[in-house]
Structure formats: C-alpha cells, structure tokens
C-alpha cells in the first residue's frame, strides 16, 4: 500500500458486512473509494452470522443480576453465555458499564436509538442488495421465538409493549399457532412470539461477496493489508499506515470490527470493546424444513434456513480473540436443537467461530473523531451487524457529506464512554 494523492478520496478499513455496506453507499455518493482489508472480504465475523434480520434486538445486553451470575458463568461449559477465566479482567469493568445503562434515562436512549435503526434496517439492506443483484437472498416472512416453558415466555412477553410502541410489531402465539407456522417444532412448545417484519438472508457471506463484486466492477480499489495506525496530516489528509506500506486519503472510515478498537484508542480516552465469540453449526442435510428463522427462547440461539442447509447459531463466549476455539460450544447447538425440532439430522455438521465486537451498552460506535474530522468509524455492532449494516452505511454517508443522518448518531459516538 503506497499511495499519496491530493484528490479527495475515501478509504474504508474493513471488509466485513459493515465495511462493504459503507463502501457501497460511498460509491453511490460518487466518492473514489479504496477498501483495505487484512484478509479477503467476508472471511471474519460477517461470514458466519445467523442470517436473521431481526426486529427484536433493541435492548442493552446486561441484566440486573449480571454480576451475581459471574461465578456461574466462569464455570459454565454449555450455557448460552460463558466467560473464560482469563478474560475476567476485561469483563468486570465492561459489565459495570453495561449495568449502568439499565438506569431509566440511559435505557430509553439505547432502546430508542436501536429501534430507530431497526425500523429502517430491512428496507435499507434490500436497497443495497438490489444494487448488487442480490435481492433474491433476502426474504421477509417474520421471525419466531419458541418457548417450552410458560415462565420464560411470560418474561419475554413483558417486552411486547416496548417493541410495538417503537413500531416493531410482535404478536404472542399459542403452541398450536406456532405448530401451524412451523410444523417442524416439537409438540412441547407452549407458545412464542412472532416478529412480523423480521427478515432473513439465505447466504450472509454470499451477500457480502456480491457487494464486493459490485464494488470491483465499479472501480473500487481493494488493498490487502493490515492497518496499524491512522493520523491526521497538517493539510487535513489522513495517513493510513499498514504492515505493507502507507497511503494518504481525504477521509477514512474505520469498520474493522473487533480490531477497530486499537485504531481508535489514540483518539479516545476509552473504547470498551470486548471479544464476544459466537459459534454456529451448519447442517447440510437437516432432515426438516423451516420457512423463517426461529430463536429458541430458553437456550438463546437461532435456527435459520440457508441455501446450503440449516444454520444453528448463537451463544456468547467472552474470551481473548486469539484463544483456541471451544468447538464443543458449536456442537452443543445440535443437542439443544433436538429439544425443539423434530428429527433434526446433524450428519456432516460443520462448526464455525467468529469474533463479535461488543460494546457494553449494546449500541454500535458510529461517529467522527472530534480532533481528526476526516476520520469516521462504524463498528461494535455485536449481534446486529447484518441487520444494521445498511442503515449504518447511510449514517456514515451522511457524516462524510456533513448532512443529517437518518438516525441521530450522537448516542452512538465514542465520546459517550469518556
């Protein structure tokens, strides 16, 4: 990477679904775009997500009893959320910040912001997919949350007023209604929730690769390098230093997922980003059919029908990003799915692990560096990367143009942690 130019140009750092979506939007705005990625596009966290364009994820990640659960989470092997002992030092301050968001005013700000983005999410993704000739990968038949216990269903149903009030329609269904929609569910399902406007992507990695193809066809330069540092030059240009060289650009957008934290650290007092590792298990011949994504309420993971089979995805493992994968966490998803789905077949199942970039309040980080106005950022989407990818790109496009974004980005600026 050796380039220096006085012309206005924009570098996007990161080739996951966020970076590719941002590049798509900036290209449509008429910018000269260069995308810089350490690996090939769509090879990291974005490659293996659940493919669920969910309307449900508008709440912060913490619960009031989070700290009390810490000892159990350290010992758990097969729970929906585990913390590796060596990562406790990172998680304690992160957890305290997460709990502080549960105060009513902070909670409302998070929920309002995520709901505003989510309302725009599916239509925004659909527009980008259509540009890349990938509209056929998206469907919108709603999403289900299935429960085997009335207590768990009642607890989740208490949030229905919040979803509906924010324009994200959800209905409570009986066990029989759940069976009518998805006959593959076991009879023990007592009921569930139907998020009517949720959608699905049948090949998340394929969607991002279509974006990459579109970008290449329309002149976007792809540079394979690992960006190590950013700095603002006296003339206002942004210097991007990588392991293979350096280049100057008019503006830069950092969309590097978990690795964005180290690039932003010099500009902000605190960037409380942690490594939340998610697993999936791909079943090439599941022996059943689903029409839509189903979240299993008690163990907190999802089954999504994909072009290449059925994907069981979910769980959260907080650990160093470079720790060896716990493949048992992927394979346990089949055992759990067998409690909710009839005769699911796990033959030739393929496990996968990716690193979600998670911030303690559940909001992504979207904004502009105050002391370096040519540096923008968009990362930390945790479980909402695919869902919020296109509306995030619209927000970044507005920041670059100096226009009003479709959703106010103030609550998502990294200054909130200072």
Which tens digits make up the pLDDT trace of 134-184?
A: 999 999 999 999 999 999 999 999 999 999 999 999 999 999 999 999 999
127/228 same-domain check: yes
Q: What pLDDT score does 4 carry? A: 39
Asked, for residue 228, whether it belongs to a domain, the answer is yes
Q: Look up the pTM and report it.
A: 0.95
Asked whether residue 82 falls in the same domain as residue 165, the answer is yes
Q: Are residues 374 and 398 in the same domain?
A: yes
Residues 144 and 258 grouped into a single domain: no
Range of 169's domain?
55-88+136-198+277-356
User: How is residue 87 annotated by DSSP?
Assistant: G
Domain presence at residue 206: yes
Question: At 63, is the pLDDT very low, low, confident or very high (cuts 50, 70, 90)?
Answer: confident
Q: Provide the pLDDT confidence category of residue 336 given band limits of 50, 70 and 90.
A: very high
Answer for the pair 283, 307: CB distance below 8 angstroms, yes or no: no
Can you tell me the distance from the alpha carbon of 289 to that of 73, in angstroms, rounded to the nearest whole number? 34
Q: Are residues 364 and 351 in the same domain?
A: no
If asked whether residues 32 and 126 sit together in one domain, one would say yes
Claim to verify: residue 365 and residue 262 sit in the same structural domain = yes
Out of 325, 356, 387, a domain closes at: 356
Question: Pick from 311, 331, 356: which residue ends a domain?
Answer: 356
Residue 62 is assigned to a structural domain of this protein = yes
Report yes or no on 217 lying in a domain: yes
Q: Please tell me whether residues 349 and 417 are part of one structural domain.
A: no
Are 169 and 318 found together in one domain? yes
247 lies in some domain: yes
Asked if 147 and 235 sit in the same domain, the reply is no
**Cα–Cα distance for residue pair 16/257, rounded to 1 Å:** 8
Do residue 260 and residue 403 come from a single domain? Answer: yes
3-class DSSP state of 227: strand
Instruction: Tell me the CATH number at 150.
Output: 3.30.9.10
From 313, 341, 356, give the residue that closes a domain.
356
| pLDDT (average), residues 80-93 | 89
Residue ranges of alpha helices (H) inside 55-203 are: 66-75, 88-100, 104-131, 150-157, 160-165, 175-181
Residues 77 and 151 in one domain: yes
Instruction: Report the 10 Å Cβ neighbour count for 291.
Output: 15
The phi-psi region of residue 142 (left if phi > 0; otherwise alpha if psi is between -120 and 50; otherwise beta) is left
Determine what percent of the chain is predicted with pLDDT higher than 90. Answer: 88
Torsion of CA 35, 38, 44, 47, to 10 degrees: 40
- Sheet strand arrangement including 33-37: 221-224, 33-37, 10-13, 251-254, 375-379, 365-368
Residue 264 lies in a domain: yes
Check residue 67 and give its pLDDT: 58
What is residue 79's predicted lDDT score, i.e. its pLDDT?
73
Phi, psi of 355 (to 5 degrees): -105, 110
Distance of CA 159 to the CA centre of its chain: 22
Q: Model confidence over 13-37: pLDDT tens digits? A: 999 999 999 999 999 999 999 999 9
Q: For residue 68, tell me if it sits in a domain.
A: yes
Number of domains in the chain: 2
Model pLDDT for residues 99-136, shown as the tens digit of each residue: 999 898 999 999 999 999 999 999 999 999 999 999 99
Q: What is the CATH number of the domain that holds 20?
A: 3.50.50.60
In sequence order, which ranges of 46-103 are alpha helices (DSSP H)?
A: 66-75, 88-100
Distance CA 181, CA 320 (A): 40
> Is residue 263 domain-resident?
yes
């Amino acid at each position: 990477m050796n380039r220096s130019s006085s012309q206005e140009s924009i570098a996007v750092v990161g080739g996951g679904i966020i970076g590719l979506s941002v590049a798509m939007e900036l290209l449509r705005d008429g910018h000269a775009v260069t995308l810089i990625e350490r690996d090939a596009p769509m090879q990291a966290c974005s490659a293996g997500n659940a493919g669920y364009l969910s309307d449900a994820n508008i709440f912060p990640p913490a619960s009031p009893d989070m700290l009390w659960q810490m000892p159990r989470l350290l010992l758990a092997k097969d729970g929906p959320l585990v913390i590796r002992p060596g990562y406790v030092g990172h998680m304690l301050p992160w957890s305290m910040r997460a709990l502080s968001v549960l105060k009513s005013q902070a909670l409302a700000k998070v929920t309002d912001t995520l709901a505003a983005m989510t309302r725009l999410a599916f239509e925004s993704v659909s527009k980008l997919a259509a540009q890349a000739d990938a509209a056929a990968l998206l469907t919108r038949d709603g999403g289900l949350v299935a429960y085997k216990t009335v207590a768990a269903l009642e607890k989740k149903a208490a949030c229905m007023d919040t979803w509906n009030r924010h324009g994200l329609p959800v209905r409570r269904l009986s066990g029989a209604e759940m069976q009518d929609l998805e006959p593959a569910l076991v009879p023990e399902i007592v009921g569930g929730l139907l998020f009517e406007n949720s959608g699905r992507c049948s090949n998340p990695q394929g969607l991002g690769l279509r974006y990459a193809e579109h970008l290449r066809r329309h002149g976007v330069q792809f540079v394979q390098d690992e960006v190590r540092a950013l700095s603002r030059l006296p003339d206002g240009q942004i210097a991007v230093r990588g392991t293979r060289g350096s280049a100057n650009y008019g503006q830069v957008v950092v969309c590097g997922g978990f690795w964005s934290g180290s690039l932003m650290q010099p500009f902000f007092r605190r960037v409380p980003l942690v490594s939340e590792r998610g697993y999936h298990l791909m079943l090439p011949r599941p022996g059943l059919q689903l029409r839509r994504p189903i979240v299993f309420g008690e163990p907190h993971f999802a089954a999504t029908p994909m072009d290449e089979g059925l994907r069981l995805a979910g769980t959260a493992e907080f650990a160093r990003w470079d720790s060896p994968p716990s493949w048992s966490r992927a394979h346990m998803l089949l055992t759990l799915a067998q409690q909710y789905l009839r005769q699911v077949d796990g033959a030739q199942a393929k496990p996968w692990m990716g690193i979600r970039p998670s911030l303690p309040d559940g909001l992504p980080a979207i904004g502009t560096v105050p002391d370096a106005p040519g540096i923008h950022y968009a990362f930390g989407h945790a479980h909402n990367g695919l869902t919020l990818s296109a509306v995030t790109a619209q927000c970044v496009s507005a920041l670059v143009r100096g226009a009003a974004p479709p959703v106010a980005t103030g609550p998502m600026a990294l200054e909130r942690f200072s």
